[in-house]
Amino acid sequence: MINAESALPMYKQIASILKKEIREHRYGDSGSIGTHTDLAERFGVSLITIRKAIKMLAEENLVETQQGKGTFAKATILQDDLHYLTGVSNIISQQNLQAQVVVRTMTFVNTPNHFSDKNKEAMGQTCLYIERLHIINEIIINYAKLYLPLSYGRRLSRKDVEDNTIYQLYEDKLGVKLGKGVQYISADAADDEMAEILDVDARTPILKVERESYAADGTLIEIMELFYEYSHYRFRVELDLASR
Which pLDDT score, from 0 to 100, does residue 67 have?
Answer: 73
What is residue 26's three-state secondary structure? Answer: coil
Q: What letter represents residue 27's amino acid? A: Y
Position with higher pLDDT, 144 vs 137: 144
Q: What region, left, alpha or beta, does residue 82 occupy, with left being phi > 0 and alpha being psi -120 to 50 degrees? A: left
Mean pLDDT confidence for 214-223? 95
Is 90 exceeded by the pLDDT of residue 155?
yes
- In the sheet that holds 70-73, the strands lie side by side as 32-34, 70-73, 63-66
54-65 tens-digit pLDDT:
998 888 777 887
| Backbone φ and ψ of 62, nearest 5° | -100, -20
Is 70 exceeded by the pLDDT of residue 77?
no
Give residue 91's pLDDT band: very low, low, confident or very high (50, 70, 90): low
Position with higher pLDDT, 12 vs 74: 12
Mean pLDDT confidence for 161-170? 90
1-55 tens-digit pLDDT:
787 778 888 999 898 888 888 777 787 767 788 888 888 998 999 999 999 999 9
Is 80 exceeded by the pLDDT of residue 217?
yes
Q: What letter represents residue 131's amino acid? A: E
Cross-strand partners of 147: 129, 223
**Where does 13-76 show beta strands of DSSP type E?**
32-34, 63-66, 70-73
What is residue 91's three-state secondary structure? Answer: helix
Give residue 76's pLDDT band: very low, low, confident or very high (50, 70, 90): low
| Backbone φ and ψ of 189, nearest 5° | -115, 140
Q: What letter represents residue 15's amino acid? A: A
Residues of the chain with CATH 3.40.1410.10: 78-235
Mean pLDDT of the chain: 85
112-143 tens-digit pLDDT:
999 999 999 999 999 999 999 988 777 888 89
Which pLDDT score, from 0 to 100, does residue 6 have?
Answer: 85
User: H/E/C letters for each residue in 116-167?
Assistant: CHHHHHHHCCEEEEEEEEEEECCEEEEEEEEEEEHHHHCCCCHHHHHHCCHH
Is 90 exceeded by the pLDDT of residue 216?
yes
Distance CA 206, CA 197 (A): 12
Position with higher pLDDT, 239 vs 142: 142
What single DSSP character describes residue 170? I
Residues of the chain with CATH 1.10.10.10: 10-73
What number of CA atoms fall less than 13 Å from residue 175's CA on the CB side? 2
CATH superfamily assigned to domain 78-235: Chorismate lyase-like (3.40.1410.10)
Distance CA 36, CA 70 (A): 8
What's domain 10-73's architecture? Answer: Orthogonal Bundle (1.10)
